[in-house]
Amino acid sequence: MTYKNIIVEEEGAVGVIALNRPQVLNALNHELMGELVSALEEFDRKESIRSIVLTGSERAFAAGADIKEMSDETTISIMLRDNFATWDRVRNIKKPIVCAVSGFVLGGGCELMMNCDIIVASETTQLGQPEINIGVIPGAGGTQRLTRVVGKHKAMEMILTGKSITAHEALELGLVNKVVPVELFLEEAKAMAREIAKKSPVAVRLAKEAVLKSYDASLSEGLLFERKNFYMLFSSEDQKEGMKAFLEKRQPTFSGR
Ligand code: CO8
């Protein structure tokens, strides 16, 4: 499939998607989001791909939803267009997504990043939810996901003042996993994705599902969900192989079955 707004590549078992609208700092318009979910879902279906890297450019991961495209919407037109149906599909991707960010990570860009599972940031990254400056609020999960990660007071500060934070501040808040020099952010994310790609894909899938469940469920519901996924893995060939390899002091070979 050919895309206009993203670049899609496969590097062995790692699928790499780069947002590519440099003239508008990768602003997320409908077309880009549509292409992004198509590419993500394609990688999700493809058995040879075991993890995904999502990135932008050094200057910008994404400076938010496309303000030009949104500016004339009305309550009814934006509701009927239901762009969030596309965003919900990002949330439903089952393979792990490592996000490699640099430069501007703003508004919808920050929300897209928070849909990913692990985040590597370059030292030049600036992250924020500046929607308040243009008379709106985060709409793609920012008020909920940011608050769960950084806590109420910091989320309030970022969302109500619209001010950005640096990569190092984001690291202290647990919003990103790692901060590295700008020339390394993409490579570091790919290295993490390769590491995950070596594990049992069935175990990775059920682990991601169980961690995400902790967002929605009470502790007892979450624990039950985790336990059932744990039990389920004992019907996989990968569990047999993983434990046998440990006992035989060798590396496992996971089939994904
Ligand atoms: N939308 C559309 N165009 C953009 C966006 C954007 N979000 N951000 C930058 N651009 C464009 C600029 O208009 C400019 O285009 P042109 O050259 O034609 O004038 C080009 O990108 C370069 O930008 P600047 O000249 O402004 O570059 P600077 O380095 O001076 O500034 C900033 C960079 C600080 C990032 C600045 O561009 C900026 O403030 N951008 C807007 C950031 C923002 O407010 N983001 C939040 C948007 S709202 C949102 O994300 C809600 C998400 C909810 C989901 C919605 C789903 C439908």
For 174-199, how does the pLDDT look when each residue is reduced to its tens digit (9 = 90+)? 999 999 999 999 999 999 999 999 99
Residue closest via CA to ligand 1's atom 38 equals 63
Q: 3 C-alpha to center of ligand 1: Å?
A: 22
For residue 225, being part of any structural domain is answered with yes
* Same domain, residue pair 161 and 62: yes
* 188 lies in the same domain as 206: no
207 an active-site residue?
Answer: no
Is the domain of 107 the same as that of 135? yes
Q: Which of 15, 103, 107, 108 is catalytic?
A: 108
Number of domains composing the chain: 2
Q: Is residue 100 part of a domain?
A: yes
Domain presence at residue 164: yes
Same domain, 140 and 65: yes
* 131 in active site: yes
pLDDT class of 128 with cuts at 50, 70, 90: very high
pLDDT tens, residue by residue, 70-124: 999 999 999 999 989 999 999 999 999 999 999 999 999 999 999 999 999 999 9
Ligand 1 centroid to Cα of residue 203, in Å, is 39
Looking at the chain, the number of H-run helices and the number of E-run strands are: 12, 10
Rounded Cα distance, 80 and 137, in Å: 19
Q: Tell me if residue 203 is catalytic.
A: no
Answer for the pair 62, 109: CB distance below 8 angstroms, yes or no: yes
Q: Which residue out of 111, 169, 188, 226 is catalytically annotated?
A: 111
Which residue's CA is the closest to the ligand 1 atom numbered 45? 64
125 pLDDT higher than 90: yes
Same domain membership, residue 121 and residue 59: yes
In a domain, 254, yes or no: no
Cα dihedral: 146, 148, 151, 157 (round 10):
20
Phi/psi at 61 (5° precision): -70, -60
Specify whether 193 is located in the same domain as 208.
Answer: no
159 lines ligand 1 (CB under 6 A): no
Please report whether residue 252 resides in a domain.
no
What rounded mean pLDDT belongs to the chain?
97
Distance CA 71, CA 136 (A): 11
> Strands 51-55 and 97-101: what pairing?
parallel
State the residue range of the domain holding 154.
6-197
Whether ligand 1 lies within 6 angstroms of the CB of 68 is answered as: yes
pLDDT of 1: 79
**Which CATH number covers residue 193?**
3.90.226.10
| 140 and 243 together in one domain | no
Q: Known catalytic residue: 217?
A: no
Neighbours of 184 (CB within 10 A): 15
Residue at which a domain ends, from 180, 197, 214 = 197
Q: How far is CA 35 from CA 3, 8, 77, 153, 215, in A?
A: 7, 10, 22, 35, 27
Mean pLDDT of 42-53: 98
Q: Does the residue 1 lie in any domain? A: no
Is 210 found in the same domain as 186?
Answer: no
Helix (H, G, I), strand (E, B) or coil at 238: helix
CATH number assigned to the domain comprising residue 219: 1.10.12.10
Mean pLDDT is lowest, of 42-46, 153-157, 164-168, 225-229, for 225-229
Predicted confidence (pLDDT) at residue 143 exceeds the cutoff of 90: yes
